[in-house]
Structure 1
């Protein structure tokens, strides 16, 4: 029995840009390594988060997967096709949403734009009608089908962009910052739609975003890229149990906080008047033990335990892997 190949395969992928210095064609050239031999695979039907800071190589990788760029070396297969060698067949089998770019036409209505994409992708009339109705229901597009794209709010436009990316039933959906600039209700609507799409259609989703709440809500697995290399690749829960396990303890003392030593696994990060903030790893020092340690040093007035912002933890994770 043949085992199904992954939806996305990336093997030892490298991309080097050569830039000319000095603004002259006679200037010297230098190399910028955007991707330094990354490898990963995404099984069919999985939602994988692909995260990294600006300049990490994320956008370059997405452009190669989309068939926009050709790599310097390495191998990529998306649905058994090599994107830059089979561009026409490839784009017919993927959907891409770039949060800061549009694939719809500003002066056409949403409905007209979808109809034009129907002709570009060669979607049969019956299938197009079914998909249009399904997407309009799921993404609440009925009221804006006759509006031009330039008249839409950002939230409306992003929902229309997702419909445009899915009108031809792609096997793989690449979402690049799909909730950028959206208000909270719009973000929740997009996240719910992506979850339903994966569950009902079995679509493979690669999600890149700086909004860690998107990752937390959607991704079963997280690939972390930095400096053009893969820094981590694990199920989200495993990442939460390690990199994201950190807690924050905010303590208000009755008087001026004393200067104190902390047990291993705890670190003071802020001191402001009577308040001290401590980050700690509960795997090394449980919260009750840490509170008892502080209470033995001075009187406590109040305390609060929570998680640091996910963005803050990920930023430190990047810094720890800097080289």
Structure 2
């Protein structure tokens, strides 16, 4: 596992040897098996989070990513104090969240993509007023933050509508505002842009950046949208099968696989893939509809040589070159982890 820590400010989250195990009864097949299970004391243990360690500093925006069932949500719930660790511990601004949930609740904000903390049948502004009283937000601070959130997230157009009448995009913006109304030191965002259109995603990303820059909010972002990660995160922590497989700067992760490039060309020239120049197996070819796709490591072969070959030998009429995407890197890392 690659592990790089960048000191940004005070330690906001410290995870030490954190472990979470779940026990479930061993179920037998059939109707009689179901009744036997009711009286059985045999259990199997599933390790959801396996002795993980990391530190997150004040002001960081960290992408916490992995496949479904990797342990992301379980570890986030332990950081929020919802679940108690089986082993190890987690500190939020120096406090154990499962022991002092009320204190930690005042320091964090949480957004879960498919759940809301807003009151369904009352206007959005009334939900904000309730949260103001719950978190004891002073009048002056409430007014300043609500104005900032309204401008940044465009809330004014639906501020007086009941929450149940809001679209998904409007509700996600409202939930983000609600989670930050008490100015938490740490913001946990679980799939905040799931199912949203491009314009709403852009508004939410811009708001998160602004909160981080203006108020130094530390952000932990879990998402399957790699564009969220590339736009927002300077560092990623990748978890798979309960283990951390990468922890470091986003810009460094691509170099694990070298300077991989993809060259897509269109040509009317007749060719056979097996007869194309592989440059001593440093270039691979793949046909994709009406295009020919070349992949190679620019650290091992001169890009100019590959481009010259495309134009002069394949008579390329159109050419597009791109670097490996963070999505491809994550996919490769997860595939490596599954093989272990």
Using structure 2 for the length normalisation, give the TM-score: 0.87
Equivalence for 1:13? 18
**What whole-Å deviation, never above 9, does each CA across 1:241-298 have from its counterpart, x for those lacking one?**
3358422122344112341462468453622577432222222223223334566765
Using structure 1 for the length normalisation, give the TM-score: 0.91
Equivalence for 1:255? 270
SS of 1:34's partner is: strand
Equivalence for 2:245? 231
Alignment of 1:186-201 (within 5 A): 186-201=200-215
Q: Report how many aligned residue pairs link the two structures.
A: 321
The answer to whether the 8 A contact 2:254-2:324 is kept is no
- With over 3 angstroms needed to count, the CA separation of the structure-2 counterparts of 1:154 and 1:42, relative to structure 1, is same
Mapped to 2, the partners of 1:4 and 1:302 lie a distance apart of 48
**What whole-Å deviation, never above 9, does each CA across 1:17-40 have from its counterpart, x for those lacking one?**
111121523163111111111111
Mapped to 2, the partners of 1:103 and 1:244 lie a distance apart of 44
Any gaps of 5 or more consecutive residues in structure 1?
Answer: none
- With over 3 angstroms needed to count, the CA separation of the structure-2 counterparts of 1:164 and 1:269, relative to structure 1, is farther
Mapped to 1, the partners of 2:51 and 2:231 lie a distance apart of 29
SS of 2:173's partner is: helix
Aligned residues: CA RMSD = 2.3
Any gaps of 5 or more consecutive residues in structure 2?
Answer: 1-7, 28-33
- With over 3 angstroms needed to count, the CA separation of the structure-2 counterparts of 1:123 and 1:21, relative to structure 1, is same
- With over 3 angstroms needed to count, the CA separation of the structure-2 counterparts of 1:128 and 1:319, relative to structure 1, is same
Equivalence for 1:222? 236
Equivalence for 2:4? none
Alignment of 1:84-123 (within 5 A): 84-123=98-137
The answer to whether the 8 A contact 1:110-1:146 is kept is yes
Report the CA distance between 1:120 and its aligned residue: 1.6
2:142 counterpart of 1:128: yes
